[in-house]
Amino acid sequence: MVNFICPVLNARLTSPFGWRTISGNKEWHQGIDLASPIAGLKAPIYASADGVVSRAQVLSSYGNVVMIKHSIAGKTYETNYAHLDSYSVKVGQKVKQGQKIGIMGMTGRSYGVHLHFEIHNGIWTSGQPNAVDPMKYISLINSIKENGDELTMSQYNELKNMITELQKENSELKKQLENKLDKQKVRQPLECHKDDWSWFKANGISDGTNPQDYVTREQLATITHRMDSFNTKKFKK
């Protein structure tokens, strides 16, 4: 399972992944912009997953940026945390999911305090050809410190798919059961069983208040017939 967390506690999504308009010009946004719950607050930034710091530097329009490489289920991912006010990690350093790596800022090409966050299916390269929508992997309401049991978006989607499959299987089993029940013939007690049940009531074995359960009547009558055959005599009615 690809398990990323939101790098900002209780973040606000201020700009989604994909096409957007900046100063009247359309541009492709290869990540998402996240702000803290209080506008302008320089919130802590946390590692979205376990990994190794691959960059910690000033990089063009990103400003102060940290990038982390992750190996998850045999696949390589790289996350990008840009416009930082400062960072507290160095290249080659191993970090754990939820570990503080910097402070939100507005360095580089930025119009306000926020975090530009990217997830790459593979390593980061110029032009960001491997960038994927982070909102497919994270939930905005999660935190290692305060909400450790919160599902990430990838966990939520996987659980949702499992529930859907179980519902399909349950629906199919229900149909099969209904078809089987429709094809079953209603069993009726044999006349000899009816006669023996009448004999039980007539001779005080049953006072007529016993549950009229077909299986019970049939089984009791069958035992009686076996006794009758063994004793080679007939019960009188």
pLDDT digits (tens, 9 = 90+) for 16-42: 998 887 767 788 889 999 999 888 889
Phi and psi based region of residue 137 (left: phi greater than 0; alpha: psi -120 to 50; beta: remaining): alpha
Is the whole model's pTM more than 0.85, yes or no?
Answer: no
Write down the CATH superfamily of domain 12-150.
Glucose Permease (Domain IIA) (2.70.70.10)
Domain boundaries, the chain: 12-150, 191-231
- Classify residue 32 by burial, with Cβ atoms within 10 Å: 0-12, 13-18, 19+: buried
Place of tokens 């990089």: 59
Parts of the chain with a pLDDT under 50: 143-150, 211, 214, 233-237
Please report the pLDDT score of residue 39 as a whole number: 82
Please report the pLDDT score of residue 235 as a whole number: 47
| Residue 119 near residue 77, CB atoms below 8 Å | yes
Please report the pLDDT score of residue 211 as a whole number: 47
Please report the pLDDT score of residue 166 as a whole number: 74
Please report the pLDDT score of residue 27 as a whole number: 82
Place of tokens 């996987």: 158
- Classify residue 142 by burial, with Cβ atoms within 10 Å: 0-12, 13-18, 19+: buried
Please report the pLDDT score of residue 149 as a whole number: 47
Please report the pLDDT score of residue 110 as a whole number: 87
